[in-house]
């Protein structure tokens, strides 16, 4: 039995390296225990040395892309499920195209969930100005992702906010971008971040784009789940906007211009022709 420890930071690199060695040595999925961040405890604390790389087994690019996403899922079985599919691909080369296969379908669901979590992180991270001195502005944010998406998503923020230093703290992993260098560190409790003027701007912006006539609460909470509201300054306005939506729609109806009846418009057109 092989016990493979996987770190919380750099999980993707560690899993790929272990999977290559194990699959090359012909180690069955049933003979592997994947220990993420020491979650298995002292009973399985001793790692089994991995076999050396003896031969390389080429995997489809579609599997590689999927596995690189699935390993950021929160399910403890993610590593075993991905390796089990890799094991089957040795003798089932067309497996990645089999939409009816339950093992592949489960991994696709996990892949989709991670992509969704990454999308939510990009949309809902709210930075606060730390007001520190220096040539570069400094910001920090607190976020609670559903899956382990800090590492794969942080490069997006590095590209978008390359002109400032920032930190995204989460309970699992903390990302820091200082002087153009991106690094990752252990998670931490929610820091005491200062309030800034941007919070009021977020609220003003959200209130101005809110359209009560198109309000669908279920659809809104699906796109903006309530679990994120506590860390989004504009979310404080949501209950009031929902409560007043019906009254706002009625005001919009009353203020709307009155259009002439279609038949009246035809009669007016005919009269203009007669006058001409």
Name the more confident of 37 and 269.
37
Q: Which of 48, 168, 77, 78 is nearest to 118 (CA)?
A: 168
Kindly state the percentage of the chain with pLDDT values over 90: 51
| Cβ–Cβ under 8 Å, residues 125 and 161 | no
In a domain, 52, yes or no: yes
Average pLDDT score over residue span 166-178 = 95
**Separation of alpha carbons 258 and 222, rounded Å:** 36
Tens digit of each residue's pLDDT (9 = 90 or more) over 31-46: 999 999 887 765 555 6
Compute the Cα dihedral for 157, 162, 163, 166 and give only its sign. positive
Over range 172-186, report the average pLDDT.
Answer: 96
| Residue of higher predicted confidence among 264 and 93 | 93
Q: Lowest mean pLDDT: which of 129-138, 151-160, 206-215?
A: 206-215
Other CB atoms within 10 Å distance of the CB of residue 28: 11
6 and 73 part of one domain: yes
The number of folded domains in the chain is: 3
90 and 131, same domain (yes or no)? no
pLDDT beyond 80 at 11: yes
Same domain, yes or no, for 56 and 36?
yes
**DSSP single-letter state for residue 19:** H
Average pLDDT score over the chain: 82
The pTM for the full model equals 0.76
Report yes or no on 273 lying in a domain.
no
266 inside domain: no
And the tokens for 164? 């400032």
- SS in 3 state form for 58-122? CCCHHHHHHHHHHCCCCCCCHHHHHHHHHHHHCCCCCHHHCCCCHHHHHHHHHHHHHHHHHHHHH
Crossing angle for the helix pair 11-24 and 61-70, to the nearest 10 degrees: 130
Whether residue 29 is found in the same domain as residue 87: yes
The pLDDT value recorded for residue 203 is 53
**Could you report the per-residue pLDDT of 96-128, keeping only the tens digit for each?**
999 899 999 999 999 999 999 999 999 889 888
Could you tell me if 7 and 102 lie in one domain? Answer: yes
* pLDDT beyond 70 at 150: yes
Does the residue 142 lie in any domain? yes
Q: Is 169 left (phi over 0), alpha (psi -120 to 50) or beta?
A: beta
Q: For residue 11, is it within any domain?
A: yes
Report pLDDT digits (tens) over 231-261.
666 666 566 655 655 666 566 566 656 656 6
Percent of the residues in the chain that have a pLDDT greater than 70, as a whole number: 69
| Closest among 200, 209, 212, 223 to 247, alpha carbons compared | 212
Residue 17 sits in the same domain as residue 100: yes
Domain range for residue 177? 126-186
* Same domain? 161 vs 108: no
Same domain membership, residue 75 and residue 22: yes
The verdict on residue 24 lying in a domain is yes
CA distance 144 to 179: 25
Q: Is 264 within the bounds of a domain?
A: no
Q: Are residues 111 and 9 in the same domain?
A: yes
The partner residues of 137 in beta bridges, in order of sequence, read: 164
* Final residue in a domain of this structure, among 119, 144, 169: 119
Checking if the pLDDT of 171 tops 90, the result is yes
Is position 220 within any domain?
yes
């Amino acid at each position: 039995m092989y016990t493979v420890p996987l770190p919380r930071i750099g999980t993707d690199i560690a899993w790929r390296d272990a999977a290559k060695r194990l699959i090359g040595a012909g180690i069955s999925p049933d003979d592997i225990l994947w220990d993420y961040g020491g979650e298995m405890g002292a009973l399985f604390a001793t790692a089994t040395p991995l076999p050396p790389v003896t031969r390389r087994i080429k995997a489809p690019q579609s599997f590689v892309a999927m596995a690189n996403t699935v390993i950021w899922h929160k399910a403890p079985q993610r590593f075993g499920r991905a390796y089990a599919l890799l094991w089957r691909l040795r003798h089932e080369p067309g497996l990645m195209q089999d939409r009816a296969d339950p093992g592949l379908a489960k991994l696709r669901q996990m892949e989709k969930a991670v992509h969704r979590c990454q999308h939510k992180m990009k949309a809902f991270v709210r930075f606060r100005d730390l007001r520190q001195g220096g040539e570069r502005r400094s910001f920090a944010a607190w976020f609670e992702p559903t899956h382990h998406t800090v590492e794969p998503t942080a490069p997006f923020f590095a590209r978008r906010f390359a002109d400032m230093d920032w930190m995204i703290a989460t309970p699992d992993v903390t990302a820091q971008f200082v002087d153009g260098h991106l690094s990752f560190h252990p998670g931490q409790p929610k820091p005491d971040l200062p309030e800034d003027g941007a919070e009021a701007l977020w609220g003003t912006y959200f209130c101005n784009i809110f359209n009560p006539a198109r309000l669908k609460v279920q659809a809104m909470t699906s796109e903006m789940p309530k679990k994120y509201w506590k860390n989004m300054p504009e979310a404080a306005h949501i209950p009031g906007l929902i409560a007043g939506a019906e009254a706002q729609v009625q005001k919009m109806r009353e203020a709307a211009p009155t259009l002439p009846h279609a038949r009246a418009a035809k009669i007016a057109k005919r009269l203009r022709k007669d006058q001409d």
